[in-house]
Amino acid sequence: MKAAGGIAAALLALFYLYGGGLKLLRNRARLRPMMAWVDSVPMPAVRAIGAIEVLGALGLVLPPLTGLARWLAPAAALGFVLLQLGATSVHLRMGDRRIALNLTLLLAAATSGWLTASSL
């Protein structure tokens, strides 16, 4: 059970490190092909979402690896569940029905949170 939680958290962290890093480093024009929603959100908010994703990714993997503040890993996973609920809402409000990735990330975050919380 512990290994499954670690694998789920690591995969989720890789995804969010990549996506969050792009939001932090790329301009609106370079983000637009991958993330159409960036046109409807101010760039400081896009950057803040990127920072939250990067910090959350670190929160998923560092506490279990170091043994310090291990409660942060399930808290980070819960944060990603909430983030994906918001992202799904934005997609649906914009008329974008392609939410399979959002729902997959939501389920992965919920699974990771449940597995890491159960191993505390």
CA distance 86 to 66: 30
- Under the banding of pLDDT at 50, 70 and 90, the label for residue 36 is confident
Mean predicted lDDT score pLDDT of the chain: 93
Domain residue limits at 85: 2-118
- Under the banding of pLDDT at 50, 70 and 90, the label for residue 117 is confident
Question: Is the whole-model pTM more than 0.85?
Answer: yes
- The tens digit of pLDDT for each residue in 51-86 reads 999 999 999 999 999 999 999 999 999 999 999 999
Q: What's the number of domains the chain is made of?
A: 1
- Under the banding of pLDDT at 50, 70 and 90, the label for residue 1 is low
